[in-house]
Structure 1
Amino acid sequence: MDIKEKRIGFIGTGVMGSSMVENLMQDGFPVTVYTRTKEKALPLLEQGAEWADSVKDLASSSHIIITIVGYPQDVEEVYLGKDGLLAHANPGSYLIDMTTSKPALAKEIYDRAKEKGIHALDAPVSGGDIGAKNGALAIMAGGDEEAFTTVLPVLEAMGENIILQGEAGAGQHTKLSNQIAIASNMIGVCEAIVYAKKAGLDPSRVLDTITTGAAGSFSLSKLAPRMIAGDDAPGFYVKHFIKDMTLAIESAKELGMETPGLALSLKLYKELAEKGENDSGTQALIKLFEQ
């Protein structure tokens, strides 16, 4: 099978999804898109993407279907609803959910897809808007190795660090591990910048040093400059990070562990959201520390 000849259906053309579709088309894949608000997809349609009027229409006309939507309830609707993907996707097709969602939901989708002769993978991503634009996302997958190998060229059009972590749900567990690590790190980045300012230092010059040392991280090198510049544009929304951290806390409790760093970060981000920053980028957290 020449996978480059297979039509890709893509659902969800937000901050991340739009760039992911662009990279797929630049790599030669034919893409059909669907999103709740067609206007959001117009730039992609102008670049050559085709439009589907519904999830049902997209499912029936696509061999590989990628979704990156907002919340687990959106995933449930898109996959398990009466007009959803599992009701209308063709046997033998491949479904790849790149939303950060519940591991148990990923397993349910996998099981129900398998009953219909459909291949399902959970493959959430990390890297934000920068990684999406550059086709450099980290992609963490769960599902069957054969299905993963088949669609790997598709994933390679969107990402660089692409690893099959295990069976269905393993991709989601890996993404929650990723979010747990980021949660406490974001607090540290904010505190470091505010500390540098109060010490009379140039925070940008401080970053030039500490990003190359043991403190180095994506948040420090990519988001800290935005904090210093007062740039709150969302590479990843506060509201979606709150969703991810909530999922991680719920999953950790199911595994019988406590996550105090994660709990503190979630508390702070909820406070930030209450101040009207739901649609800001996660770097807006520094506003709490600058007050």
Structure 2
Amino acid sequence: MTLTLANTVIGFIGTGVMGKSMVGHLLKAGYQVVVYNRTKASAEELIQRGAIWQDTVADLAAQSNVIISMVGYPKDVEEVYLGVNGIINHAKSGTYLVDMTTSDPELANKIYEEAKAKGLYALDAPVSGGDIGAKEARLAIMVGGDEEAYNAIVPIFKIVGKNIILQGKAGSGQHTKMCNQITIASNMIGVCEAMAYAQKSGLDPEIVLKSIESGAAGSFSLTNLAPRMLANNFAPGFYVKHFIKDMTIALESARKMGLITPGLELAKSMYEQLAELGEEDSGTQVLYKMYLQREKL
């Protein structure tokens, strides 16, 4: 069956910082959306806008023909998809399953195989762009899975993202997201060190930022997160605790491939220090605090 606006019911699991904006775009586009979240309160605004609440994942799965998840950790993904009351046990044959959580590539493969055995189509499609990308509907979406399923879901992807690429077979989306997170990990260290250097040298960091963000040093973190650092705004666009999770997955995957990643290991150790100091629910730009408060890391 070809998916159309009229015949598609999207089930969306996880209405947190990013999921909330994504569901909002789907509703605005005219899709019927049913939602589930562990805490109903976080979905109340979406319910007021027309989303239909479901009390369980099983109920949501039974009513949808496209199911999108954006949850926290691989253990949550496994429970949502493979649990007794999970999606695969309750979705109708022919349903498209799209996990947009940053998760384990091996788990993505397992979900794909289990879904296929039940007549379901599974894609792993993690995103990059943070809260800003989600709000502005310009997320980068990295997809793994079968081309036929990808082509069916592309119109929905285009509502929440801009840079949408099928990377390859199941698990490829997650591997690509690991490349993304490895890049960000070392880059965040560089951004924080640059802003700390500017301040220590007596320069105005905001003026320095204007000079360097459009040159060879330019990056998402420099343009979007450095201004938050300088304003002492450490509210989460992306949580420290989730970044640590992502880096842990990347390190484990790299080790299985025999790849040494010292930059990633350093970044992970620094963020773990921040978590120990109570910053696990802060945004990743909180790394800047380590440079402001300590002479040495």
CA distance in 1, matches of 2:26, 2:234: 28
Secondary structure class of the residue paired with 1:231:
coil
For residue 2 of structure 1, report the CA deviation from its aligned partner.
Answer: 4.4
1:15 counterpart (11, 14, 17): 17
CA distance in 1, matches of 2:101, 2:130: 13
Matched, 1:142 2:161: no
1:240 counterpart residue number: 242
| Superposition TM-score, scaled by structure 2 size | 0.97
CA distance in 2, matches of 1:46, 1:29: 15
1:65 counterpart (48, 51, 67): 67
Q: Deviations over 1:89-142 (max 9, x none)?
A: 000000000000000000000001001110000000000000000000000000
1:117 counterpart residue number: 119
For residue 4 of structure 1, report the CA deviation from its aligned partner.
Answer: 1.2
Secondary structure class of the residue paired with 1:266:
helix
CA distance in 1, matches of 2:122, 2:4: 16
CA distance in 1, matches of 2:259, 2:153: 35
2:95 counterpart residue number: 93
| Superposition TM-score, scaled by structure 1 size | 0.99
1:127 counterpart residue number: 129
Letter in 1 for 2:21: S
2:223 counterpart (221, 226, 232): 221
Secondary structure class of the residue paired with 1:120:
strand
For residue 29 of structure 1, report the CA deviation from its aligned partner.
Answer: 1.0
Secondary structure class of the residue paired with 1:8:
strand
Letter in 1 for 2:11: G
Secondary structure class of the residue paired with 2:19:
helix
Letter in 2 for 1:94: Y
Conservation of the 8 A alpha-carbon contact between 2:3 and 2:152: no
Unaligned runs of 5+ in 2: none
Unaligned runs of 5+ in 1: none
Letter in 2 for 1:220: L
Letter in 2 for 1:275: L
2:195 counterpart residue number: 193
For residue 27 of structure 1, report the CA deviation from its aligned partner.
Answer: 1.2
1:255 counterpart residue number: 257
After superposition, the Cα gap between the structure-2 partners of 1:143 and 1:283, relative to the gap in structure 1 and judged at 3 Å, is: same
1:4 counterpart residue number: 5
CA distance in 2, matches of 1:275, 1:82: 37
Secondary structure class of the residue paired with 2:277:
helix
Root mean square deviation, CA, Å: 0.5
Secondary structure class of the residue paired with 1:13:
coil
CA distance in 1, matches of 2:26, 2:161: 10
2:32 counterpart (30, 33, 40): 30
Secondary structure class of the residue paired with 1:232:
coil
2:176 counterpart residue number: 174
CA distance in 1, matches of 2:61, 2:201: 57
CA distance in 2, matches of 1:116, 1:276: 43
Letter in 2 for 1:121: L
